[in-house]
Amino acid sequence: MEEIRRAALEQEQLFRVLQISEKLELINTPFLDQEHLDYLGVAVRQPLDVDDDGTRDFDPRFFESWLPDELVAEVACDELWMDRLGPDMSPAEWRFEDYKFRWFQHCLEQLYEMDNEIWDPWFTDALEIRQCTGLALPFRQRLMPEEYYLPVAAFFPVDKTKPHVACVMADSNVAPGDQVLYSEVHSAVRLVRFRLEQGQHTGHHTKPGMLYTLHRDLFARITQVHFDGKSSKLVLRRSRRLDLRGPEPPKDAYLLVRWVANRPVGQTEYVDEPEPDEWTTTKDSSNTAPRILLGYAS
Protein backbone atom coordinates (compact mmCIF):
# COMPACT_ATOMS: atom_id res chain seq x y z
CA MET A 1 0.00 0.00 0.00
CA GLU A 2 2.87 2.38 0.79
CA GLU A 3 4.31 1.84 -2.70
CA ILE A 4 0.94 2.79 -4.22
CA ARG A 5 0.77 5.96 -2.14
CA ARG A 6 4.28 7.00 -3.15
CA ALA A 7 3.58 6.32 -6.82
CA ALA A 8 0.45 8.49 -6.58
CA LEU A 9 2.47 11.31 -4.99
CA GLU A 10 5.04 11.05 -7.76
CA GLN A 11 2.35 11.33 -10.42
CA GLU A 12 0.83 14.34 -8.67
CA GLN A 13 4.25 16.03 -8.59
CA LEU A 14 4.73 15.30 -12.28
CA PHE A 15 1.34 16.87 -13.02
CA ARG A 16 2.38 20.05 -11.17
CA VAL A 17 5.71 20.21 -12.98
CA LEU A 18 3.96 19.84 -16.35
CA GLN A 19 1.69 22.73 -15.37
CA ILE A 20 4.75 24.89 -14.71
CA SER A 21 6.13 23.88 -18.10
CA GLU A 22 2.90 24.88 -19.86
CA LYS A 23 2.82 28.26 -18.12
CA LEU A 24 6.46 28.86 -18.98
CA GLU A 25 5.69 28.48 -22.68
CA LEU A 26 3.40 31.52 -22.43
CA ILE A 27 6.23 33.80 -21.28
CA ASN A 28 8.42 35.47 -23.90
CA THR A 29 11.24 37.22 -22.08
CA PRO A 30 14.82 36.12 -21.33
CA PHE A 31 14.59 37.28 -17.70
CA LEU A 32 12.01 36.37 -15.04
CA ASP A 33 11.02 38.72 -12.22
CA GLN A 34 9.16 37.86 -9.01
CA GLU A 35 5.77 38.23 -10.67
CA HIS A 36 6.74 35.63 -13.27
CA LEU A 37 8.06 33.26 -10.60
CA ASP A 38 4.88 33.56 -8.52
CA TYR A 39 2.76 32.89 -11.61
CA LEU A 40 4.79 29.80 -12.44
CA GLY A 41 4.93 28.39 -8.93
CA VAL A 42 8.70 28.76 -8.56
CA ALA A 43 10.22 29.56 -5.17
CA VAL A 44 13.73 31.01 -4.85
CA ARG A 45 14.91 29.95 -1.40
CA GLN A 46 18.01 30.69 0.67
CA PRO A 47 21.11 31.35 -1.47
CA LEU A 48 23.40 28.39 -2.05
CA ASP A 49 26.71 28.91 -0.25
CA VAL A 50 29.32 27.69 -2.73
CA ASP A 51 32.25 29.35 -0.96
CA ASP A 52 31.88 27.38 2.29
CA ASP A 53 32.43 30.61 4.17
CA GLY A 54 30.64 29.46 7.29
CA THR A 55 27.29 30.99 6.38
CA ARG A 56 24.49 29.34 8.33
CA ASP A 57 22.64 27.13 5.92
CA PHE A 58 19.46 25.47 7.16
CA ASP A 59 17.95 24.58 3.80
CA PRO A 60 18.64 21.10 2.38
CA ARG A 61 21.70 20.52 0.23
CA PHE A 62 21.86 17.60 -2.16
CA PHE A 63 25.29 18.15 -3.72
CA GLU A 64 28.67 18.57 -2.04
CA SER A 65 31.90 20.08 -3.31
CA TRP A 66 34.79 17.98 -2.05
CA LEU A 67 37.80 18.21 -4.38
CA PRO A 68 40.88 20.06 -3.06
CA ASP A 69 41.88 23.21 -4.92
CA GLU A 70 45.35 21.78 -5.56
CA LEU A 71 43.94 18.90 -7.61
CA VAL A 72 41.85 21.22 -9.78
CA ALA A 73 44.89 23.45 -10.37
CA GLU A 74 46.94 20.39 -11.35
CA VAL A 75 44.54 19.24 -14.08
CA ALA A 76 44.06 22.79 -15.36
CA CYS A 77 47.71 23.66 -15.82
CA ASP A 78 48.09 22.15 -19.31
CA GLU A 79 44.96 23.62 -20.92
CA LEU A 80 44.80 27.07 -22.53
CA TRP A 81 42.36 29.57 -21.01
CA MET A 82 40.89 31.74 -23.75
CA ASP A 83 39.37 34.95 -22.48
CA ARG A 84 38.29 36.50 -25.80
CA LEU A 85 38.43 35.58 -29.45
CA GLY A 86 40.02 37.79 -32.06
CA PRO A 87 38.17 40.93 -33.18
CA ASP A 88 37.90 39.58 -36.73
CA MET A 89 35.28 37.00 -35.69
CA SER A 90 31.66 38.06 -35.55
CA PRO A 91 29.22 36.62 -32.98
CA ALA A 92 27.33 34.86 -35.78
CA GLU A 93 30.39 32.68 -36.47
CA TRP A 94 30.72 31.15 -33.02
CA ARG A 95 28.86 30.51 -29.80
CA PHE A 96 30.06 32.50 -26.84
CA GLU A 97 30.71 29.50 -24.60
CA ASP A 98 32.46 27.27 -27.15
CA TYR A 99 36.05 28.32 -26.61
CA LYS A 100 35.88 29.02 -22.88
CA PHE A 101 34.05 25.79 -22.05
CA ARG A 102 36.93 23.80 -23.56
CA TRP A 103 38.96 24.66 -20.48
CA PHE A 104 36.22 23.43 -18.15
CA GLN A 105 35.64 20.28 -20.18
CA HIS A 106 39.36 19.45 -20.16
CA CYS A 107 39.53 19.82 -16.37
CA LEU A 108 36.39 17.76 -15.81
CA GLU A 109 37.44 14.96 -18.13
CA GLN A 110 40.75 14.66 -16.28
CA LEU A 111 38.99 14.57 -12.91
CA TYR A 112 36.45 11.98 -14.04
CA GLU A 113 39.27 9.76 -15.28
CA MET A 114 40.81 9.90 -11.81
CA ASP A 115 37.52 8.97 -10.14
CA ASN A 116 34.93 7.38 -12.41
CA GLU A 117 32.69 6.06 -9.64
CA ILE A 118 30.63 9.22 -9.00
CA TRP A 119 29.37 10.73 -12.28
CA ASP A 120 28.79 9.49 -15.81
CA PRO A 121 29.46 12.64 -17.91
CA TRP A 122 28.08 13.46 -21.35
CA PHE A 123 29.86 16.27 -23.18
CA THR A 124 27.68 16.51 -26.26
CA ASP A 125 24.62 18.23 -27.73
CA ALA A 126 20.98 18.10 -26.67
CA LEU A 127 19.95 15.60 -29.35
CA GLU A 128 22.54 12.98 -28.42
CA ILE A 129 21.90 13.43 -24.70
CA ARG A 130 18.19 12.79 -25.27
CA GLN A 131 18.68 9.84 -27.60
CA CYS A 132 21.16 8.09 -25.32
CA THR A 133 19.83 8.94 -21.85
CA GLY A 134 16.23 10.12 -22.23
CA LEU A 135 16.98 13.52 -20.66
CA ALA A 136 15.38 16.18 -22.87
CA LEU A 137 17.31 19.33 -22.02
CA PRO A 138 15.96 22.57 -23.52
CA PHE A 139 17.51 24.58 -26.31
CA ARG A 140 16.19 27.67 -28.00
CA GLN A 141 17.39 29.73 -30.95
CA ARG A 142 15.86 33.17 -31.21
CA LEU A 143 15.62 35.40 -34.25
CA MET A 144 19.16 36.72 -34.00
CA PRO A 145 22.00 34.16 -34.33
CA GLU A 146 23.64 35.38 -31.13
CA GLU A 147 20.46 34.91 -29.07
CA TYR A 148 20.19 31.34 -27.78
CA TYR A 149 20.52 28.90 -24.91
CA LEU A 150 21.51 25.25 -25.13
CA PRO A 151 23.05 22.39 -23.11
CA VAL A 152 26.74 21.57 -23.37
CA ALA A 153 26.96 18.72 -20.84
CA ALA A 154 24.88 16.41 -18.65
CA PHE A 155 25.83 14.25 -15.67
CA PHE A 156 24.22 11.13 -14.22
CA PRO A 157 25.26 9.28 -11.04
CA VAL A 158 27.15 6.06 -11.63
CA ASP A 159 25.18 4.69 -8.68
CA LYS A 160 21.81 4.24 -10.39
CA THR A 161 19.97 4.18 -7.08
CA LYS A 162 20.60 7.91 -6.63
CA PRO A 163 17.93 10.25 -8.08
CA HIS A 164 20.33 13.16 -8.66
CA VAL A 165 21.01 14.63 -12.13
CA ALA A 166 22.93 17.68 -13.38
CA CYS A 167 23.67 19.68 -16.51
CA VAL A 168 25.65 22.64 -17.87
CA MET A 169 23.70 25.19 -19.90
CA ALA A 170 25.06 28.04 -22.02
CA ASP A 171 22.96 31.19 -22.36
CA SER A 172 23.86 34.13 -24.58
CA ASN A 173 22.17 36.48 -22.11
CA VAL A 174 23.70 37.99 -19.00
CA ALA A 175 21.08 38.30 -16.27
CA PRO A 176 20.99 41.77 -14.68
CA GLY A 177 21.60 41.58 -10.94
CA ASP A 178 19.96 38.57 -9.34
CA GLN A 179 17.22 38.16 -11.92
CA VAL A 180 16.51 34.58 -12.97
CA LEU A 181 17.18 33.60 -16.56
CA TYR A 182 14.30 32.02 -18.46
CA SER A 183 16.67 29.20 -19.39
CA GLU A 184 17.38 28.50 -15.70
CA VAL A 185 13.74 27.72 -14.97
CA HIS A 186 13.32 25.88 -18.29
CA SER A 187 16.32 23.66 -17.49
CA ALA A 188 15.23 23.14 -13.87
CA VAL A 189 11.82 21.95 -15.05
CA ARG A 190 13.40 19.48 -17.48
CA LEU A 191 15.76 18.03 -14.85
CA VAL A 192 12.97 17.44 -12.34
CA ARG A 193 10.54 16.21 -14.99
CA PHE A 194 13.09 13.67 -16.24
CA ARG A 195 13.31 11.86 -12.92
CA LEU A 196 9.56 12.00 -12.28
CA GLU A 197 8.71 10.62 -15.73
CA GLN A 198 11.25 7.83 -15.42
CA GLY A 199 9.51 6.39 -12.40
CA GLN A 200 12.73 4.65 -11.34
CA HIS A 201 13.13 6.48 -8.03
CA THR A 202 9.62 6.35 -6.59
CA GLY A 203 11.14 5.44 -3.23
CA HIS A 204 12.67 8.93 -3.08
CA HIS A 205 10.57 11.90 -1.99
CA THR A 206 13.09 14.31 -3.56
CA LYS A 207 14.74 14.08 -6.99
CA PRO A 208 17.42 16.81 -6.90
CA GLY A 209 19.01 18.50 -9.88
CA MET A 210 22.05 20.74 -10.21
CA LEU A 211 22.26 23.36 -12.93
CA TYR A 212 25.41 25.21 -14.00
CA THR A 213 24.57 28.14 -16.28
CA LEU A 214 27.19 30.03 -18.29
CA HIS A 215 26.13 33.63 -18.90
CA ARG A 216 27.87 34.15 -22.22
CA ASP A 217 31.60 33.80 -21.58
CA LEU A 218 31.50 36.27 -18.71
CA PHE A 219 29.73 34.83 -15.68
CA ALA A 220 28.18 31.65 -14.32
CA ARG A 221 25.70 30.63 -11.67
CA ILE A 222 25.11 27.36 -9.81
CA THR A 223 21.51 26.43 -9.04
CA GLN A 224 20.22 23.52 -6.99
CA VAL A 225 16.67 22.50 -7.94
CA HIS A 226 13.99 20.15 -6.65
CA PHE A 227 10.22 19.94 -6.50
CA ASP A 228 8.79 20.40 -3.02
CA GLY A 229 5.71 18.23 -2.62
CA LYS A 230 4.46 20.04 0.49
CA SER A 231 4.28 23.47 -1.14
CA SER A 232 3.78 22.16 -4.72
CA LYS A 233 6.52 24.51 -5.90
CA LEU A 234 9.69 24.16 -7.92
CA VAL A 235 12.44 25.23 -5.52
CA LEU A 236 15.63 26.97 -6.64
CA ARG A 237 18.67 27.65 -4.49
CA ARG A 238 21.05 29.90 -6.42
CA SER A 239 24.68 30.73 -5.81
CA ARG A 240 26.19 34.16 -6.11
CA ARG A 241 27.20 35.12 -9.63
CA LEU A 242 30.61 33.67 -10.48
CA ASP A 243 32.99 35.89 -12.44
CA LEU A 244 34.81 34.14 -15.31
CA ARG A 245 36.47 37.23 -16.79
CA GLY A 246 40.20 37.75 -17.02
CA PRO A 247 43.29 36.82 -19.05
CA GLU A 248 43.98 33.91 -16.65
CA PRO A 249 41.51 31.51 -15.03
CA PRO A 250 40.05 33.41 -12.05
CA LYS A 251 39.32 31.82 -8.68
CA ASP A 252 35.67 31.44 -9.62
CA ALA A 253 36.61 29.29 -12.63
CA TYR A 254 38.33 26.78 -10.34
CA LEU A 255 35.39 27.01 -7.95
CA LEU A 256 32.98 26.14 -10.76
CA VAL A 257 35.05 23.09 -11.72
CA ARG A 258 35.02 21.88 -8.11
CA TRP A 259 31.24 22.18 -7.96
CA VAL A 260 30.57 20.49 -11.29
CA ALA A 261 32.75 17.60 -10.07
CA ASN A 262 30.73 17.33 -6.85
CA ARG A 263 29.21 14.27 -5.25
CA PRO A 264 25.50 13.67 -4.57
CA VAL A 265 24.51 13.78 -0.91
CA GLY A 266 21.45 14.40 1.24
CA GLN A 267 18.44 12.53 2.53
CA THR A 268 16.21 11.97 -0.50
CA GLU A 269 14.72 8.56 0.31
CA TYR A 270 11.57 7.81 2.23
CA VAL A 271 12.16 6.29 5.66
CA ASP A 272 9.90 3.31 6.25
CA GLU A 273 8.12 3.30 9.58
CA PRO A 274 8.70 0.10 11.57
CA GLU A 275 5.81 -2.32 11.79
CA PRO A 276 4.03 -2.07 15.18
CA ASP A 277 4.85 -4.81 17.67
CA GLU A 278 1.97 -7.24 18.16
CA TRP A 279 2.15 -6.71 21.93
CA THR A 280 1.62 -2.94 21.58
CA THR A 281 -1.10 -3.12 18.98
CA THR A 282 -4.60 -2.64 20.37
CA LYS A 283 -8.01 -2.84 18.86
CA ASP A 284 -8.74 0.71 19.98
CA SER A 285 -7.63 2.97 17.14
CA SER A 286 -9.21 6.15 18.48
CA ASN A 287 -5.76 7.62 19.22
CA THR A 288 -4.37 6.79 15.78
CA ALA A 289 -4.32 9.53 13.15
CA PRO A 290 -5.93 8.54 9.86
CA ARG A 291 -3.48 7.86 7.03
CA ILE A 292 -3.84 9.79 3.80
CA LEU A 293 -3.35 7.38 0.95
CA LEU A 294 -3.50 9.91 -1.86
CA GLY A 295 -2.44 13.55 -2.04
CA TYR A 296 -0.36 15.45 0.45
CA ALA A 297 -0.69 15.68 4.17
CA SER A 298 -1.14 19.23 5.35
DSSP assignments along 15-53, one per residue:
HHHHHHHHHHTT---SEE-HHHHHHHTEEE-SPP--S--
Element (H, E) at 140: strand 140-141
pLDDT of residue 147: 78
pLDDT of residue 178: 86
Pairing state between β 165-171 and 209-215: parallel
Q: Which residues pair with 150 in a beta bridge?
A: 170
pLDDT of residue 290: 36
The upper half-sphere exposure of residue 152, i.e. CA atoms within 13 Å in the direction of its Cβ, equals: 25
Are the beta carbons of 254 and 72 closer than 8 angstroms?
A: yes
Q: Is 13 helix (H, G, I), strand (E, B) or coil?
A: helix
- Report the distance separating Cα 234 and Cα 17, nearest Å: 8
Tens of pLDDT, residue by residue, the chain (298 residues): 888 999 999 999 999 999 999 999 999 999 999 999 999 999 999 999 999 866 667 788 999 998 888 899 899 887 788 766 555 555 544 566 777 888 999 999 999 988 899 999 999 999 999 999 999 999 987 655 567 899 999 999 999 999 999 999 999 999 888 899 999 999 999 999 999 999 999 999 999 999 999 998 899 999 999 999 999 999 999 999 999 999 999 999 999 999 999 999 999 999 876 555 555 444 444 333 333 333 333 3
Name the phi and psi angles at 98, rounded to 5.
-55, -55
Q: What's this model's pTM, rounded to 2 decimal places? A: 0.87
Query: Closest by alpha carbon to 9, among 157, 181, 148, 207?
Result: 207
Residue 132: C-alpha distances to residues 103, 108, 127, 211 (Å): 25, 20, 9, 20
Residue 136: C-alpha distances to residues 38, 129, 218, 222, 277 (Å): 25, 7, 26, 20, 47
Residue 250 CB-density burial (10 A; 0-12 exposed, 13-18 middle, 19+ buried): middle
pLDDT of residue 277: 55
